[in-house]
């Protein structure tokens, strides 16, 4: 460490200690409540009293010390876990609306119980947003006894639950649920025709687990509710075959980052000839151009078994971050259809989008949020800027002794793979457990088959099932285990040394603990660290090392010519590159890419923020109509809701259409964001008028057919029933990110 960075570290440490002092002060106050001598009944009575105080309006800050002491005592009695000091500190920081960084395995699940209990005392519900459905169930069952001991109720939500089950879960004081499920429920509520169908209460407070994943990586994912309405579209198979006819490098090309494709002049001419469309760049052809771009994108940039796979005749997307099948996910309409066409699949009617909200906007509906994760520091600026969340670093309960070795950098992929297999085989011979994090399902399978050739048996994790995955990951610390896993699979699951066999723990510790190997550098140091953090939990021994090569995707995308001296670009050697310049370059590339991604997300927010504002206005007006039984008859209410929903859905289709085509504007030197805003504001302004007119028209039609005043109208017969069936999915919108990047928005 040079002098300057030492100085920075010193200042940081002092600042960190200063910030922590507030939490240690609270800790001391909590410690003064010695409740160990109290019997159960006395604790329960104290909890009830606290609840009454909170409901009478006492400030939660005043109740914090007593509430935390009670929750801590309850946890030690019913779970046998007495919270560590650092867990009380983390809990305090969570209550105060911060983003808490606490290492993997330090016990964030229990730390969250204290602020959840405190905030639930007000009786308005607390959501703990978990990383997946499996963890929602696990944590609710695991921590449930503590809340119940203290007289509160707890519930969890899982995919597949009925409306009644959901209503019950959300009525509980504390609800464990994924943000996705909570969001889908919010969307279903937003098209409910009767208040009896609503499952949510108004949002109150959310604690986001694995917060960086949700608040940064997944934040921009739009949740969608769609309904069965026949949809039309351009002929996908025709575009798919045209895309196959066009030649990469001649007729179309990638942008320099390989994130998007564009037609060359020759390509456009050729396409115009084949399509007999005339100038593709004229406005009336924009749907053709968009469809062709989608087809080219699908043809050349989306790879089967890397970006998606086909299983049981269904197109399934692979999640970039987990490397796993992302269930229930679509690309934006046009691209989804293009990939289906490319694979010769029957394009399914995708239905009509009835409502949509991004996870980021969903979270902004909570008056108060806080988050926790093992990796926050690297993205502190983004948390602050996007969510006004400050990162608070909680020190580990026991000092971390994990050793993070310097990466090994190879010239080419074969050399890297060979070195990986050798290293794993060598370490495995000692029976030390090894966990390998790869970038894709394809890479996992390749590595596993090479390992098999070398006589090393391993578990490969690309399962679809979170529960099964949790089981395998939990055993990754067993003597002799070799586990190959994509990126962040199994996040949230504890890896104990010795796995399920406590008697092995010592032997594994003597071998050096868990050895974590990364097979590539991720787009963000934060995700690298997430993987490293799998080793060395709670002061265990452990180590980590990354294997990278100059042919890796990240370097490729950044542009190798910008990063690597010419002499090395084509060089192939089996030994790793020694020069320290390469390590610096790698860090630089990662920093630049991370910064680019942050910028891109900011730009894209400019698109979605405006739509969100419109959504809120629409939602508010709809709620008023739904609740306002004093001034509208039930017929009038139904008809008005029907038209509100329809016009909103039409509006969303228009927004999507504009959004997919808007990049064309930038070619004409207009600012696409301004143009987008201009058009959708104009369209939104027309809605109230349209709704009023349509409603009046329908009502007069109903009354002239004699049904207007009665309340037993057959809505289906009148063609005024909402969609017959609805379903929900997520949109993989890296497509938009790619697009934004190429046009330098
Ligand atoms: P994190 O979410 O921070 O990665 P978990 O909440 O999954 O960590 O907890 C990791 C492990 O630590 C669990 O096995 C849990 O039982 C254990 N643990 C957490 N807090 C305590 C405590 N106060 N006392 C004993 N064990 C604990
Ligand atoms: Mg956890």
Minimum-distance ligand 1 atom for the alpha carbon of 104: 4
Per DSSP, the residues of 216-253 read IISTTPEEEEEE--------HHHHHHHHHHS-BTTTEE
Is 219 within 8 Å of 364 (Cβ atoms)? Answer: no
Residue 420 has pLDDT above 90, yes or no: yes
pTM of the predicted protein model: 0.85
Q: Please enumerate in sequence order all residues whose Cβ is within 8 A of that of 272, keeping only pairs 6 or more positions apart, or say none.
A: 278, 279, 280
Asked whether 85 lines ligand 1 (CB < 6 A), one says: no
* pLDDT, tens digit, 9 for 90 and up, residues 36-92: 999 999 999 999 999 999 999 999 999 999 999 999 999 999 999 999 999 999 999
Pocket test for ligand 1, best of 212, 473, 494 (most atoms within 8 A of CB): 494
The two structure tokens encoding residue 488 = 């962040």
Q: Mind listing the domains of the chain with CATH numbers? A: 20-223+359-393 (3.40.50.300), 236-350 (3.90.1440.10), 403-593 (3.40.50.300), 627-727+734-742 (1.10.3060)
Could you tell me the pLDDT band of residue 187, with boundaries at 50, 70 and 90? very high
Is 361 within 8 Å of 71 (Cβ atoms)? Answer: no
Please give the Cα distance from 129 to 210 (Å, whole number).
9
Pocket test for ligand 1, best of 77, 79, 82, 109 (most atoms within 8 A of CB): 109
Question: Residues at the annotated binding site?
Answer: 87, 105-109, 494
Answer with the residue of higher pLDDT: 558 or 334: 558
Nearest CA to ligand 1 atom 23: 83
User: What is the per-residue pLDDT for 509?
Assistant: 96
Could you tell me the pLDDT band of residue 4, with boundaries at 50, 70 and 90? low
Count other C-beta atoms under 10 Å from residue 402's C-beta. Answer: 20
User: What is the per-residue pLDDT for 708?
Assistant: 46
Is 134 within 8 Å of 466 (Cβ atoms)? Answer: yes
pLDDT mean over 688-700? 93
Residue 730 has pLDDT above 90, yes or no: no
Task: From 404, 405, 457, select the one nearest 429 (Cα to Cα).
Answer: 457
Could you tell me the pLDDT band of residue 619, with boundaries at 50, 70 and 90? very high
User: What is the per-residue pLDDT for 742?
Assistant: 36
pLDDT mean over 611-618? 96
The alpha carbon of 87 and the centre of ligand 1 are apart by a number of angstroms equal to 10
Beta bridge partners of 265: none
Ligand nearest to the CA of 534: 1
User: What is the per-residue pLDDT for 323?
Assistant: 66
Minimum-distance ligand 1 atom for the alpha carbon of 83: 23
Cα torsion for 289, 290, 295, 297, to the nearest 10°? 110
Q: Please enumerate in sequence order all residues whose Cβ is within 8 A of that of 264, keeping only pairs 6 or more positions apart, or say none.
A: 250, 251, 252, 253
* pLDDT, tens digit, 9 for 90 and up, residues 86-109: 999 999 999 999 999 999 999 999
Please give the Cα distance from 142 to 649 (Å, whole number).
41
Among 488-492, 549-553, 670-674, the range with the most confident prediction by mean pLDDT is: 549-553
Minimum-distance ligand 1 atom for the alpha carbon of 109: 6
Asked whether 528 lines ligand 1 (CB < 6 A), one says: no
Answer with the residue of higher pLDDT: 738 or 296: 296
Is 700 within 8 Å of 707 (Cβ atoms)? Answer: no
pLDDT mean over 283-288? 78
Minimum-distance ligand 1 atom for the alpha carbon of 84: 23
Residue 634 has pLDDT above 90, yes or no: no
* pLDDT, tens digit, 9 for 90 and up, residues 213-228: 999 988 988 899 988 6
Strands lying side by side in the sheet with 314-318: 308-311, 314-318, 325-326
The two structure tokens encoding residue 128 = 């703990």
Nearest CA to ligand 1 atom 19: 107
Residue 1 has pLDDT above 50, yes or no: no
Q: Which residues sit with Cβ closer than 5 angstroms to ligand 2, an ion?
A: 108, 492
pLDDT mean over 608-623? 95
Largest Cα separation within the chain, whole Å, is 87
* pLDDT, tens digit, 9 for 90 and up, residues 319-363: 765 666 777 777 766 778 889 899 988 765 556 789 999 999 999
User: What is the per-residue pLDDT for 743?
Assistant: 36
Asked whether 165 lines ligand 1 (CB < 6 A), one says: no
Could you tell me the pLDDT band of residue 663, with boundaries at 50, 70 and 90? low
Please give the Cα distance from 553 to 523 (Å, whole number).
10
Answer with the residue of higher pLDDT: 441 or 110: 110
Could you tell me the pLDDT band of residue 733, with boundaries at 50, 70 and 90? low
Asked whether 691 lines ligand 1 (CB < 6 A), one says: no
CA–centroid distance for 420 within its chain: 30
Is 420 within 8 Å of 447 (Cβ atoms)? Answer: yes
Count other C-beta atoms under 10 Å from residue 213's C-beta. Answer: 24
Asked whether 375 lines ligand 1 (CB < 6 A), one says: no
pLDDT mean over 514-541? 93
């Amino acid at each position: 460490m040079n002098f300057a960075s030492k100085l920075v570290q010193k200042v940081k440490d002092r600042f960190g200690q200063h910030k922590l002092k507030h939490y240690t002060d609270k800790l001391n106050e909590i410690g003064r409540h010695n409740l160990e001598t109290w019997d159960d009944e006395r604790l329960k009575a104290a909890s009830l009293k606290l609840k009454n105080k909170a409901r009478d309006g006492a400030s939660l800050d005043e109740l914090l010390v007593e509430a935390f002491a009670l929750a801590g005592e309850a946890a030690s009695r019913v779970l046998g876990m007495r919270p560590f000091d650092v867990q009380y500190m983390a809990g305090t920081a969570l209550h105060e609306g911060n983003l808490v960084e606490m290492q993997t395995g330090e016990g964030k699940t229990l730390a969250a119980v204290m602020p959840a209990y405190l905030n639930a005392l007000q009786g308005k519900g607390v959501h703990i947003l978990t990383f997946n459905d499996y963890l929602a169930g696990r944590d609710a069952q695991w921590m449930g006894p503590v809340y119940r001991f203290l007289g509160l109720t707890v519930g969890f939500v899982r995919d597949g639950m009925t409306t009644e089950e959901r209503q019950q879960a959300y009525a509980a004081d504390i609800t464990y649920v994924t943000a996705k499920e909570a969001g889908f429920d919010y969307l279903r509520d937003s098209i409910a025709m009767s208040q009896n169908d609503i499952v949510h209460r108004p949002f109150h407070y959310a604690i986001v687990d694995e917060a960086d994943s949700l608040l940064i990586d997944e934040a921009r994912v739009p949740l969608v509710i769609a309904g069965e309405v026949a949809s039309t579209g351009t002929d996908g198979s025709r575009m798919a075959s045209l895309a196959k006819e066009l030649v990469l490098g001649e007729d179309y090309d990638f942008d320099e980052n390989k994130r998007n494709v564009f037609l060359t002049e020759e390509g456009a001419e050729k396409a115009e000839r084949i399509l007999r469309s005339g100038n593709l760049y004229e406005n009336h052809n924009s749907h053709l151009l968009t469809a062709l771009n989608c087809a080219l994108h699908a043809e050349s940039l989306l790879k089967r078994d890397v970006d998606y796979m086909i299983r049981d005749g269904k197109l399934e997307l692979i999640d970039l971050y987990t490397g796993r099948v992302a269930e229930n996910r679509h690309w934006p309409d046009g691209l989804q259809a293009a990939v289906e066409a490319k694979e010769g699949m029957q394009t399914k009617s995708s239905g009509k989008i009835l409502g949509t909200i991004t996870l980021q906007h969903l979270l902004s509906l909570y008056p108060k949020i806080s988050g926790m994760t093992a990796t926050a520091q690297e993205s502190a600026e983004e948390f602050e800027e996007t969510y006004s969340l400050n990162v608070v670093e909680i020190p580990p309960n026991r000092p971390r002794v994990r050793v993070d070795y310097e990466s090994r950098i190879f010239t080419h992929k074969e050399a890297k793979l060979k070195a990986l297999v050798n290293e794993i085989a060598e370490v495995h011979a000692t029976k030390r457990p090894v966990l390998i994090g790869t970038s894709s399902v394809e890479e996992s399978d390749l590595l596993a088959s090479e390992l098999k050739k070398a006589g090393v048996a391993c578990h490969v994790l690309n399962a679809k099932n979170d529960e099964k995955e949790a089981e395998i990951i939990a055993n990754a610390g067993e003597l002799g285990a070799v586990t190959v896993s994509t990126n962040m699979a199994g996040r949230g699951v504890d890896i104990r040394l010795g796995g399920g066999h406590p008697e092995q723990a010592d032997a594994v510790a003597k071998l050096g603990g868990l050895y974590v190997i990364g097979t590539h550098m991720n787009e963000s140091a934060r995700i690298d660290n997430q993987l490293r953090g799998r080793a060395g939990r709670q002061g265990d021994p452990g180590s980590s090392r990354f294997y990278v090569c100059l042919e890796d995707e990240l370097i490729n995308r950044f542009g190798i010519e910008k990063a690597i001296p010419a002499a090395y670009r084509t060089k192939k050697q089996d030994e790793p590159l020694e020069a320290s310049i390469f390590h610096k370059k790698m860090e630089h590339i990662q920093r630049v890419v991370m910064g680019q991604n942050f910028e891109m997300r900011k730009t894209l927010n400019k698109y979605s923020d405006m739509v969100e504002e419109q959504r809120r206005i629409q939602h508010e007006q709809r709620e008023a109509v739904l609740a306002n039984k004093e001034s509208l008859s039930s017929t009038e209410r139904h008809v008005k809701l029907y038209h509100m929903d329809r016009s909103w859905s039409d509006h969303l289709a228009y927004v999507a259409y504009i959004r997919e085509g808007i990049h064309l504007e930038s070619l004409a030197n207009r600012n696409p964001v301004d143009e987008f805003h201009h058009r959708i504001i104009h369209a939104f302004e027309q809605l109230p008028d349209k709704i009023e007119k349509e409603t009046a028209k329908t009502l007069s039609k109903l009354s002239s057919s004699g049904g207007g005043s009665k309340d037993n109208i057959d809505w289906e017969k009148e063609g005024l029933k909402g969609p017959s069936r609805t379903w929900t999915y997520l949109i993989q919108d890296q497509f938009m990110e790619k697009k934004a990047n190429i046009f330098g928005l």
